[in-house]
Amino acid sequence: MKISAFWVVVVAIFVGGLVLTEVVDNEYYFTALYVILQATIMAIAWNILGGFTGYVNFGSAAFFAVGAYTSIALNKSLGLPLPLLIAAAAIVCGLIGLGVGYLTLRLKGVYFAIATLAMAIVFETLITNWAYVGGARGAYILTPETFLWFKSYIQMVFIVMLMLALTAVAISRMLNSSRIGRGLAAIRDDEVAAECAGVPTLRLKLISTTVMGALMGVAGAPYPFFVTFVDPVSAFNLFIAVNAIAMPMIGGTAHWLGPVIGALLVGTTQEIITVNVSSELNILLVGIMLVLFITLAPQGIVGLWLKYWRRRKK
Amino acid sequence: MASRLVASHVEAGYGSVRVLHDVSVNVNAGETVVLLGSNGNGKSTLIKCITGIVQPTSGEIYLERDGARIDLVGKSPQEVVDLGIALVPEGRRLFPKLTVEENLLLGAFRMGARSKIDSNLAFVFEAFPPLRERRNQLAGNMSGGEQQMVAVARALMSDPEILLVDEPSVGLAPILVSRMIAKIKELKDQRHLTVLMAEQNFNQAIKIADRGYIIVHGQIEFEGGSAADLRDNDMIKQYYLGL
């Protein structure tokens, strides 16, 4: 019953997206929605390791950027189409997630967070010095031709992103409610106890970093085709990482819906403020929201709702 | 499948602090063996060595199963659990923010237990009726006695052959201690378990013991071939009860 309700909503949202491309002509809306969907995927990805597993990391931007640069490199060298580039970015970033996870997961808490930050800097340095993808100067991408029935290029990229975001939601939900998700929650609660109870902690943590990396890469792969110019400074921007952390925190990290709600709420507010007030203010806004939620509702919106629900049931 | 658990000449410690000196303990299939000693004498460290949480610096720990020998030293806790050895940890170590049912299901992670989840869950709910009522409650919100039930039930969910119980009396009222100890005996008989229990509550522990060891300052000071041996021993009064 619940399963079918979920898939009905997923299909309804996708159809809604298609309808939108038919009815709305103003391209700004698709640009804004693309940005929000990209943030949603990243929030979901971050939450798999940071929320479900409890390993807070600051390296998200690195995976996002590596996804984007995988796209650039393979597009330049082999001329692969976007769907293949997305798949390639997922594989490359998933493998990097696996490798980095293997190297860093023995660290705990703050040390792990610092290691991931260092990793982001290593990747930024590597890309900055790789001339083939533009190095520090950045890379220009020629947008491919609009195909199928889409009226404009941006609408097409929006639909691609919508599909990816829905897939990410489905993966996160599946993981959250499965045996693996239960194991990850046990690691978050008490890793030593999890190990003693027979939970294969290392394997689960590696699954977690791999899926996190792959989804981050997927979020980054279409990015060059969206902005058409990518340079290391913008792709590795710390603000991307901060957003990916703030959104799940605000939405609630323990439940798969948390990062989705957080990303939609924060992403939409940011867009509105950027357009109507100023783009500088939206960074301030994220900061304020984050502080408010951490002090007043550390379990996020989903946590608040669950608390209210439990109380009402009693 | 009958297994005998053997620890032989085990030395272990934390950093430069030596805790266990030449400790040899064995548990035959179907026995309840107690490891007695007051705080800080190495009971938990020995249990941790068996489960792979602490690696001994020397000595051997192995299972004799159907004539074959399976070394436990060097194995991770998860691999030890895979072999059918379950631990009820000291202080319970539940997952406080997960529900009782989630805690129980986490005990059934190992391959050998997955197919028996339904029957094992029914069994532990039968054995500990309060857990059935509270299955959707967060484990952290339960009383100490109930939490100890969850800890034992979680261990049983892994469908073990050997049950290691580390200080089941910690933090419990005397009446609950005596019930919990009796429950362990009952579960042992129902599930044909082999039990190694570390405990400092001497009088309670020997009620269910077939045999026992007394560990003082990391050394086995006395090996009692029966519960009576342990009860009527001068050394116990001297070392252990402080009389």
> Which own/partner contact pairs does A17-21 have at CB distance under 8 Å and 24+ positions apart?
A17/A158, A17/A159, A17/A162, A18/A159, A21/A150, A21/A151, A21/A155, A21/A158, A21/A159
Task: State the Cα–Cα distance between residues B234 and B242, nearest whole angstrom.
Answer: 11
- Over residues A241-297, the pLDDT tens digits come to 888 999 999 999 989 999 999 999 999 988 888 888 887 787 788 888 888 988 888
**Distance (Å, rounded) from C-alpha B28 to C-alpha B227?**
15
Query: B99, B105, B109: which to substitute to probe chain A, counting the most A Cβ within 10 Å?
Result: B109
Which band of pLDDT confidence, cut at 50, 70 and 90, is reported for residue B240? low
**A81 touches B at CB < 8 Å:** no
Tokens linked to B149: 């039930």
**What is the model's pLDDT at position A1?**
47
* Reported ipTM: 0.85
Measured between beta carbons, which residues in chain A are less than 8 angstroms from residue B89? 193, 196
pLDDT in tens, A52-97: 999 988 888 899 999 999 999 999 899 888 899 999 999 999 999 9
What pLDDT, on a 0 to 100 scale, did the predictor assign at position B185? Answer: 94
pLDDT tens figures, A147-176: 767 778 888 899 999 999 999 999 999 999
CA distance to partner chain B, nearest, from residue A204 (Å): 12
Q: How many distinct structural domains can be found in chain B? A: 1
pLDDT recorded at residue B241: 59
Asked if the Cβ–Cβ distance from A198 to B109 is below 8 Å, we say yes
Instruction: Show the beta-strand stretches assigned E in B126-210.
Output: 162-166, 194-199
Residue B5 pLDDT exceeds 90: yes
Q: Is A189 on the interface with B (CB under 8 A)?
A: yes
Across the interface, whether the CB atoms of A183 and B94 are under 8 A apart is answered no
Average pLDDT taken over every residue of chain B: 91
Q: Quick one: pLDDT at residue A224?
A: 92
Q: How far is A192 from chain B (nearest CA, A)?
A: 8
Query: A199 and chain B: CB distance < 8 Å anywhere?
Result: yes
A-chain residues near B105 (CB < 8 A): 179, 182
Q: Which of B51, B86, B98 sits opposite A186 (nearest CB)?
A: B98
How do residues A6-64 score in pLDDT, each as one tens digit? 899 999 999 999 898 888 888 899 999 999 999 999 999 999 999 999 998 888 889 99
Is a pLDDT exceeding 50 seen at residue B26? yes
pLDDT score of A280 = 79
Q: Stretch B101-128: mean pLDDT, rounded?
A: 93
- The residue-averaged pLDDT of A294-305 equals 87
Instruction: Confirm or reject contact between A190 and chain B (CB < 8 A).
Output: yes
Q: Give the pLDDT of residue A47.
A: 95
With beta carbons less than 8 A apart as the criterion, state whether B86 and B156 touch.
Answer: yes
Quick one: average pLDDT of B10-36? 93
* Structural domain that includes position B177: 3-240
Q: Contact A189/B109, CB-based, under 8 Å?
A: no
Percent of chain B past pLDDT 90, that is, above it, reads: 72
Per DSSP, what are the bridge partners of residue B34? B197, B212
The residue of chain A nearest to residue B164, with distances taken between CA atoms, is: A196
C-alpha distance from A20 to closest chain B C-alpha (Å): 41
Give the model confidence (pLDDT) of A186-222 as tens digits.
999 999 999 999 999 999 999 999 999 999 999 999 9
Cβ contact A198–B53 (<8 Å):
no
pLDDT digits (tens, 9 = 90+) for B145-201: 999 999 999 999 999 999 999 999 888 999 999 999 999 999 999 999 999 999 988
Kindly list the domain boundaries of chain A, sorted by start residue.
2-238
Cα nearest neighbour of B153 on chain A = A197
pLDDT at position A27: 86
**Interchain CB distance below 8 Å, A196 and B106:** no
Q: What is the mean pLDDT of residues A227-233?
A: 90
> Which DSSP letter does residue B36 get?
E
Contacts of B50 in chain A (CB under 8 A): none
Residue B51 amino acid letter: T
Taking alpha carbons only, the member of B52, B181, B138, B122 closest to residue A197 is: B52
pLDDT, one tens digit per residue, over B42-74 is: 999 999 999 999 999 999 999 999 889 999 999
The residue of B93, B105, B137, B154 whose CB has the most chain A CBs within 10 angstroms, and thus the best one to mutate to test that interface, is B93
Q: Give the pLDDT mean for B85-95.
A: 93
Q: Do A183 and B78 touch (CB under 8 A)?
A: no
Q: What is the pLDDT of residues B122-153, one digit of tens each?
A: 999 999 999 999 999 999 999 999 999 999 99
Q: What is the mean pLDDT of residues A220-244?
A: 89
* CATH code of the domain in which B181 resides: 3.40.50.300
- How confident is residue A3, by pLDDT bands cut at 50, 70 and 90? low
Please give the C-alpha separations between residue B232 and each of A230, B31, B37, B182, in angstroms, as whole numbers.
Answer: 82, 21, 16, 22
